Amino acid sequence: MAMVVVSMEFHSSTGEHYVVGYDYHWRLPSAESFYLVWSRLHTFKSNDVLVFIFNNTIHNVAEVTKEAYEHCNGTNPISLHTTSPTELTIKNMDNHYYICTIGDHCKKGQKVGIEVKDSPN
């Protein structure tokens, strides 16, 4: 019985894992709207995990504010990740914004906004 309770608690505290961009991963998209479309196909919840897979030498992942996301400004990120794969857990009900800060990658569409819509249970 104790194992059932432990397994239920573990299951309820973990979320889904989403590979950002599916098999395309985190790189310059062929269409600027690629990651926007990808994000809208999912319902993200607290405790879900975003998995960014990218080439460490030419890409990174920066969490930024909404304003920085809209203007592709990576000068003062909330967090910066330079090692792939990067796994980021959604810890709250806020929306989250990610960009690549290398060159003009963000302006070419390498950015994704995550709308958190629901609680984990």
Which H or E element spans position 113? strand 111-114
Domain map (residue ranges) of the chain: 15-118
Q: What percent of the chain has pLDDT over 90?
A: 82
Q: Does domain 15-118 have CATH number 3.30.1490.20?
A: no
- Which residues, other chains included, contact 6 with Cβ-Cβ below 8 Å and sequence gap of 6+? none
CA distances from 36 to 1, 9, 31, 46, 99 (A): 44, 33, 10, 19, 12
pTM comes to 0.86
- Residue 78: pLDDT band with limits 50, 70, 90: very high
- Residue 90: pLDDT band with limits 50, 70, 90: very high
CA pair distance 117, 100, nearest whole angstrom: 24
Q: What is the pLDDT of residue 117?
A: 85
Q: What is the pLDDT of residue 12?
A: 44
Whether the pLDDT of residue 1 is over 60: the answer is no
